[in-house]
Chain A
């Protein structure tokens, strides 16, 4: 009986907390928005994995400033280089985070920045090569405190 009661207490508490969190939610980009953006970026090209690596912490305590870095394997010569890398976030109010534009003079297609994450979500990086190939990588980042100042 006692155990039953504890369970009950726990679940009601859970509901109360969920309600509290739900109350402050604002419009978020859906994974579908991100998928649509990827389609738009890739055009006819098939989106492949590999070549691009997205690095971020598994758990971000503060969503206001989450370090991320991307690197793309490429010789970075005049006729074979990485044109751009687009960073998208599935759970932010706006999916776009940043676009890095590289050139053969970059030497290596490596870049890092710090981004805002509203909640736990997938971050996607899409690389566009000069020959038209498109690569992507996805990482889930768990966010303890969201970074949208809602």
Chain B
């Protein structure tokens, strides 16, 4: 499963700014509600957790249920006071963890 995350964070900001962050990850988000051609339920397999940390402390996180659409998209805000690194972590039902990082220059 090659889930490729895409994240949009401004490269620069002024101290105290509230910035907008957009994230998207490719994932089928199999709900566990659908049936295959033979009437068997297709087992659930979703991203169940998304976490965004900045310099080691959590800014935003989401607990995700099967009602979130495939290729889960999240947009949220963060107040930045110093330069640093945003770390984004998605956790799959099967335990797979997908991570990516983005730096921001705060002046």
Contact = CB atoms under 8 A, between A and B. Distances in A.
Interface string B62-85: 111111111011111111000000
A132 interface: no
A110 B76 contact: yes
Contact of B34 (A102, A105, A148): A148
Contact of B63 (A65, A98, A115): A98
Interface stretch (A8-16, A49-57, A87-95): A87-95
Interface in B16-69: 18-19, 31, 33-35, 54, 57-69
Given A111-B76, A113-B73, A105 B54 contact: yes
Contacts of B64: 98
Contacts of B75: 69, 111-113
A64 B58 CA distance: 30
Nearest to B81: A105
Interface residues of B, number: 29
Interface string A56-96: 00000000111001000000100000000000010011101
Interface residues of A, number: 35
Given A65-B69, A66-B69, A96-B67, A113 B74 contact: yes
A98 B73 contact: no
Contact of A115 (B54, B58, B69, B79): B69
A117 B76 CA distance: 22
Given A106-B79, A107-B79, A108-B18, A115 B68 contact: yes
Closest 3 CB pairs of A and B: A107-B79, A107-B18, A96-B65
Interface of A: 26, 64-66, 69, 76, 89, 92-94, 96-108, 110-117, 147-150
Given A66-B69, A97-B67, A103-B60, 19 more contacts: A26-B33, A65-B70, A100-B60, A101-B63, A105-B78, A106-B79, A107-B19, A111-B76, A111-B77, A112-B75, A113-B69, A114-B69, A115-B67, A115-B69, A116-B66, A117-B67, A148-B33, A149-B33, A150-B34
